């Protein structure tokens, strides 16, 4: 995963910043822990544990993101809405890796660009919620906020925030990272052997033929290059994988914020690429205060209510030196609103000459509830938001440099539509998410194919 720090853009480190400085601001979407002493003990324990990622991996990703800003790479960021402690298993982790590798193969082949692969995993355990409490049958309890905070069962015990869960989340993140690193180091991602990434049911998929054609054409290209050069193509045997999560739970993130020998400044060493969610992106809020001081590349989710003026101020705070690779903006408007909301933002950022990586999240603006009570997303809306994004960026003279998706390698039925045309009635068959609906394996692959088709137009 590591290459040395190649990011030499001068930056002024904020002198008035400290990892705990966010505590002076309003921190929304935080649990209220009943025992503050236990919370402090957990923070001390976390701070003493080794980090999950290193600063040179972080700087190497920043360099890749800088190249994506210049159109030399495309970013694929994806994974669960929220990881569950019980899904920290070899099958779930390897299936998710397989689908991301397959999607990136489709993108590399179709876009003719290297793909930066970033998982929403190894730390994606905290969730923002629309209400602090939930009432059922006359009983009101705290909302479920992700496994790092409490448990989903509707009992007072399960829903009480427990700081010890942070230690479990850290351990599971480490196990996930360890397994992903070992799989990749062991050759799992070797382009000579895409059969390693086959998911059992791909053979029965309506998309299988198109996918297998791409695999064999890449295989031919690899063999052709090897024949020409007389040696094996080492640099495409291996791929890099980076991690990301919404850095929502600030006591956890603070405890993982460290200084590193021979590097200036502070790094969040729990993930390579943290992001600020839409609900916590207030300019004067605790999350923006925390993020402005860390040296990781960072992203912010941009929803339909953000104005051009607010966006430029956010950029000023998060990337005052216009550092390459530092800031990504993930727009998540919804298929029905993007044409109305995005162009003014693109124009403002372009007019001011700000350097950002634009990423499309076609999931979070397209969530709806069915009459039988499921939270779902319609594939047609996801497709439409991706397609409109490419068109709106082309019209504005800006570049869409990546996508951010909620997906799983499991055969779930959570989003409707797609190659198998899932309907509302199919949702109950395999609805497994405790939070947002994810693309299943086929719908994820279909999204990669539609990006390629759109780009070829
Ligand atoms: C998410 O990414 O799961 C999420 C809650 O997104 P947003 O902040 O864009 O609503
Ligand atoms: Mn989500």
Which tens digit of pLDDT belongs to each residue from 300-356? 999 999 999 999 999 999 999 999 999 999 999 999 999 999 999 999 999 999 999
At residue 144, the pLDDT reads 97
Q: Tell me: is residue 70 an annotated ligand-binding position.
A: no
Ranges 61-65, 238-242, 376-380, 390-394: which has the least confidence: 238-242
Pocket probe mutation, ligand 1, options 332, 377, 406, max atoms within 8 Å of Cβ: 332
| pLDDT surpasses 70 at 41 | yes
Determine the atom of ligand 1 nearest the C-alpha atom of 436. 3
Token pair for residue 291? 């993020």
124/14: higher pLDDT: 124
**Does residue 205 come out as left (phi exceeding 0), alpha (psi in the -120 to 50 range) or beta?**
beta
Distances (CA, A) of 226 to 22, 113, 217, 223: 53, 19, 14, 5
Top mean-pLDDT range of 145-149, 226-230, 423-427: 145-149
Determine the atom of ligand 1 nearest the C-alpha atom of 301. 9
172/204: higher pLDDT: 172
Rounded CA separation 283/315 (Å): 10
| pLDDT surpasses 60 at 168 | yes
Cα(403) to centroid(ligand 1), Å: 14
Cα(362) to centroid(ligand 1), Å: 11
Q: Which ligand has the minimum distance to the alpha carbon of residue 279?
A: 1
Cα(166) to centroid(ligand 1), Å: 20
Cα(370) to centroid(ligand 2), Å: 17
Rounded CA separation 314/332 (Å): 17
Q: Residue 26's pLDDT band (boundaries 50, 70, 90)? A: very high
- Which residue has a Cα nearest atom 3 of ligand 1? 81
Q: Residue 239's pLDDT band (boundaries 50, 70, 90)? A: low
At residue 228, the pLDDT reads 65
Rounded CA separation 317/377 (Å): 33
Q: Which ligand has the minimum distance to the alpha carbon of residue 414?
A: 2
Ranges 171-185, 221-235, 420-434, 440-454: which has the least confidence: 221-235
Cα(406) to centroid(ligand 2), Å: 7
Residue whose entry in the numeric block shows the structure tokens 């021979």 = 262
Q: Whole-prediction pTM value? A: 0.94
Cα(260) to centroid(ligand 1), Å: 30
**Which residues surround ligand 1 with Cβ inside 6 Å?**
81, 128, 246, 277-279, 301, 332, 364, 436
Query: CA angle, corner 406, sides to 402 and 408, nearest 5?
Result: 120
Query: CA angle, corner 306, sides to 325 and 14, nearest 5?
Result: 45
Mean pLDDT in residue range 131-135: 96
Distances (CA, A) of 53 to 3, 181, 394: 13, 11, 36
Ranges 97-106, 137-146, 362-371, 400-409: which has the least confidence: 97-106
Pocket probe mutation, ligand 1, options 285, 359, 436, 439, max atoms within 8 Å of Cβ: 436
pLDDT above 90: percentage of residues in the chain = 77
Pocket probe mutation, ligand 1, options 80, 118, 121, 279, max atoms within 8 Å of Cβ: 279
pLDDT tens digit sequence for 265-314: 999 999 999 999 999 999 999 999 999 999 999 999 999 999 999 999 99
Q: Tell me: is residue 81 an annotated ligand-binding position.
A: yes
| pLDDT surpasses 80 at 10 | no
Q: Tell me: is residue 364 an annotated ligand-binding position.
A: yes
Rounded CA separation 51/65 (Å): 22
Cα(364) to centroid(ligand 1), Å: 6
Helices 208-229 & 90-111 angle (0-180, nearest 10): 70
At residue 205, the pLDDT reads 74
Q: Residue 212's pLDDT band (boundaries 50, 70, 90)? A: confident
Q: Tell me: is residue 127 an annotated ligand-binding position.
A: no
- Which residue has a Cα nearest atom 10 of ligand 1? 278
Token pair for residue 130? 């629309």
| pLDDT surpasses 90 at 207 | no
Cα(277) to centroid(ligand 1), Å: 5
Q: Tell me: is residue 414 an annotated ligand-binding position.
A: no
At residue 215, the pLDDT reads 74
At residue 419, the pLDDT reads 84
Q: Which ligand has the minimum distance to the alpha carbon of residue 330?
A: 1
Top mean-pLDDT range of 32-36, 238-242, 408-412, 431-435: 32-36
Pocket probe mutation, ligand 1, options 148, 303, 364, max atoms within 8 Å of Cβ: 364
At residue 2, the pLDDT reads 38
At residue 410, the pLDDT reads 87
Distances (CA, A) of 42 to 68, 170, 326: 38, 11, 30
Mean pLDDT in residue range 205-215: 77
Q: Tell me which long-range contacts 18-22 makes (C-beta under 8 A, separation of at least 24).
A: 18/293, 19/254, 19/257, 19/266, 19/290, 19/293, 20/254, 21/289, 21/290, 21/293, 22/250, 22/254, 22/286, 22/287, 22/289, 22/290
Mean pLDDT, the chain, as a whole number?
91
* Three-state SS letters, the chain: CCCCCCCCCCCCCCCCCCCCHHHHCCCCCCCCCCCHHHHHHHHHHHHHCCCCCCHHHHHHHHHHHHHHHCCCCEEEEEECCCCCHHHCCHHHHHHHHHHHHHHHHHHHHHHCCCEEEEEECCCCCCCCCCCCEEEECCEEEECCCCCCCCCCCCCHHHHCCCCHHHHHHHHHHHHHHHHHHHHHHCCCCCCCCHHHHCCHHHHHCCCHHHHHHHHHHHHHHHHHHHHHHCCCCHHHCCCCCEEEEECCCHHHHHHCEEECCCCCCEEECCCCEEEECHHHCCCCCHHHHHHHCECCCEEEEECCCCCHHHHHHHHHHHCCCCCCCCEEEEECCCCCCHHHHHHHHHHHHHHCCCCCEEEECCCCCCCEECCCCCEECEHHHHHHHHHHHHHHHHHHCCCEEEEEEEECCCCCCCCEECCCCECHHHHHHCCCCCCCCCECHHHHHHHHHHHHHHHHC
Q: Tell me which long-range contacts 339-343 makes (C-beta under 8 A, separation of at least 24).
A: 339/388, 339/392, 340/304, 341/304, 342/389, 342/392, 343/392, 343/395, 343/396
At residue 5, the pLDDT reads 45
At residue 202, the pLDDT reads 62
ipTM of the complex as predicted:
0.99
Rounded CA separation 235/204 (Å): 32
* Residue among 75, 94, 127 nearest 364 (CA): 127
pLDDT above 70: percentage of residues in the chain = 92
Q: Tell me: is residue 120 an annotated ligand-binding position.
A: yes
Whether 333 contacts 380, CB under 8 Å: no
């Amino acid at each position: 995963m590591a290459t040395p720090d190649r990011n030499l853009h001068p930056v002024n480190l904020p002198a008035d910043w400290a990892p705990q400085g966010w505590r002076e601001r309003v921190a929304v979407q935080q649990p209220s822990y009943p025992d503050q002493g236990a919370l402090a003990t957990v923070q001390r324990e976390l701070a003493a544990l080794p980090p999950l990622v290193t600063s040179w991996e972080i700087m190497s990703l920043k360099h890749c993101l800088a190249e994506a800003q210049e159109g030399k790479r495309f970013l694929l960021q994806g994974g669960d809405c929220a990881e569950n402690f019980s899904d920290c298993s070899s099958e779930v982790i390897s299936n998710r890796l397989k689908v991301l590798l397959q999607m990136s193969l489709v993108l590399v082949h179709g876009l003719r660009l290297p793909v930066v692969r970033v998982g929403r995993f190894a730390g994606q355990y905290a969730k923002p919620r629309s209400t602090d409490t939930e009432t059922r049958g006359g009983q009101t309890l705290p909302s479920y906020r992700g496994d790092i905070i409490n448990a989903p069962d509707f009992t007072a015990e399960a829903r009480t925030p427990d700081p010890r869960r942070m230690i479990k989340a850290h351990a599971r993140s480490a196990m996930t990272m360890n397994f992903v690193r070992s799989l990749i180091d062991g050759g799992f991602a070797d382009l000579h052997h895409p059969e390693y990434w086959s998911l059992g049911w791909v053979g029965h998929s309506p998309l299988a033929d198109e996918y297998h054609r791409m695999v064999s054409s890449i295989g031919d290209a690899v063999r052709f290059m090897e024949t020409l050069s007389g040696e094996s193509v080492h640099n495409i045997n291996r791929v890099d994988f980076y991690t990301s999560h919404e850095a929502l739970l600030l006591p956890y993130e603070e405890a993982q914020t460290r200084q590193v020998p021979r590097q200036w400044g502070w790094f969040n060493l729990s993930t390579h690429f943290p992001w600020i969610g839409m609900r916590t992106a207030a300019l004067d809020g605790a999350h923006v205060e925390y993020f402005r001081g860390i040296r990781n590349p960072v992203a912010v989710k941009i929803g339909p209510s953000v104005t051009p003026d607010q966006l430029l101020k956010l950029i000023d705070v998060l990337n005052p030196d216009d550092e390459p690779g530092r800031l990504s903006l993930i727009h998540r408007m919804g298929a029905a609103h993007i044409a109305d909301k995005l162009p003014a933002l693109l124009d403002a950022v372009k007019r001011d000459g700000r350097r950002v990586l634009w990423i499309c999240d076609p999931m979070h603006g397209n969530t709806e509830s069915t009459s039988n009570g499921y939270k779902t997303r319609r594939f047609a809306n996801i497709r439409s938001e991706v397609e409109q994004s490419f068109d709106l960026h082309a019209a504005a003279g800006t570049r869409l440099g990546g996508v951010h998706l909620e997906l799983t390698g499991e055969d779930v039925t959570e989003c409707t539509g797609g190659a198998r045309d899932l309907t509302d009635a199919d949702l109950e068959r395999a609805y497994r998410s405790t939070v947002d609906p994810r693309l299943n394996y086929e719908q994820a692959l279909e999204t990669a194919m539609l990006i390629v088709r759109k780009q070829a137009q």
